């Protein structure tokens, strides 16, 4: 078995999907897990990107169906988490509008992130290292601070935190371990980026979001493809078992092998 075949099998990506079937399967997955866990619904952070938009659409359908079937209200709560002023925050709210989200919470993470960064710099200074936290380090603080707030809200509302991880991120390890810090459920995990886009079109994700360049929003001007040097087109082709340019294949496989710790369980003795 080639490394490409091994990766595809591990991540569970299909070469071709039936969009309606995938949507139904993922809604049922969410419904079943909510009921099994005894929770009151789902919490999803809406970044304004395509992945969180698709996850939001799936969550809202799942909780609407559970409410109709049981007579008990199940919620999908959308959370908006700008750092200071987010220039595309309206894209996040347009997703909430598109899917008719009743419950919306905005939590600005700027003060919390800056305080954590400052404390980290004091810590470095205490061991003789006088420097600002790196750009990447601060980016990870943003991701983890967002998760702290999501879990604070989810705990008191008795909700499951939904992650937007998918196979095109998993292959590159382009996430903080276990998503952006840990999540409860990942309904997109066996889809590549192209397939996420296919679901987005069917679910009715607003067109401006479909047209945006994918970004983790870690710093100004950051894009996934620019950061990794690998296009999502090549990434998705690879996960569908297709041949891609040798340079792209080598880069993708090197990234996969280098980031195994991101996908592996926490090791213990």
Active site residues: 51, 169
Q: What angle do CA 243, 188, 217 make, to 5 degrees?
A: 90
Angstrom distance (rounded) from CA 210 to CA 201:
8
Angstrom distance (rounded) from CA 45 to CA 148:
12
Angstrom distance (rounded) from CA 126 to CA 14:
51
Angstrom distance (rounded) from CA 30 to CA 26:
6
For the CA atoms of 164, 199, 41, 88, the dihedral, rounded to the nearest 10 degrees, stands at 60
Angstrom distance (rounded) from CA 252 to CA 232:
11
Angstrom distance (rounded) from CA 213 to CA 215:
6
Angstrom distance (rounded) from CA 136 to CA 17:
35
How many angstroms separate the most distant Cα atoms in the chain? 61
Residue 29, number of CB atoms within 10 A of its CB: 16
Residues forming beta bridges with residue 105, ordered by sequence position: 79
Q: How far is CA 237 from CA 11, 50, 155, 159, 234, in A?
A: 14, 19, 39, 35, 5
């Amino acid at each position: 078995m080639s490394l490409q075949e091994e990766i595809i099998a591990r991540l569970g990506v299909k070469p071709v999907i039936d969009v309606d079937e995938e949507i139904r399967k993922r809604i049922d997955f969410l419904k079943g897990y909510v009921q099994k866990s005894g929770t009151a619904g789902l919490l999803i952070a809406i970044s304004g990107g395509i992945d969180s938009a698709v996850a939001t659409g799936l969550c809202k359908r799942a909780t609407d169906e559970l409410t109709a079937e049981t007579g008990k209200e199940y919620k999908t709560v959308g959370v908006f988490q700008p750092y200071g002023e987010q220039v595309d925050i309206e894209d996040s709210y347009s997703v909430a509008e598109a899917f008719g989200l009743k419950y919306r919470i905005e939590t600005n993470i700027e003060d919390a992130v800056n305080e954590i960064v400052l404390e980290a710099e004091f810590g470095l200074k205490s061991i003789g290292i006088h420097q600002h936290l790196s750009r990447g380090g601060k980016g990870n603080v943003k991701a983890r601070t967002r998760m702290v707030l999501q879990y604070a809200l989810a705990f008191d509302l008795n909700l499951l935190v939904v992650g937007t991880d998918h196979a095109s991120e998993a292959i590159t390890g382009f996430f903080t371990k276990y998503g952006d810090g840990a999540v409860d459920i990942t309904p997109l995990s066996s889809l590549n980026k192209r397939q996420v886009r296919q679901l987005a079109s069917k679910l009715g994700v607003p067109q401006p979001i479909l047209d945006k360049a994918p970004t983790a929003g870690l710093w100004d001007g950051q894009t996934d493809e620019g950061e990794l040097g690998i296009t999502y087109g090549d990434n998705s082709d690879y996960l569908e078992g297709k041949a891609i340019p040798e340079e792209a294949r080598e880069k993708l496989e090197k990234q996969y092998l280098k980031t195994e710790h991101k996908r592996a369980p926490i090791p213990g003795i």
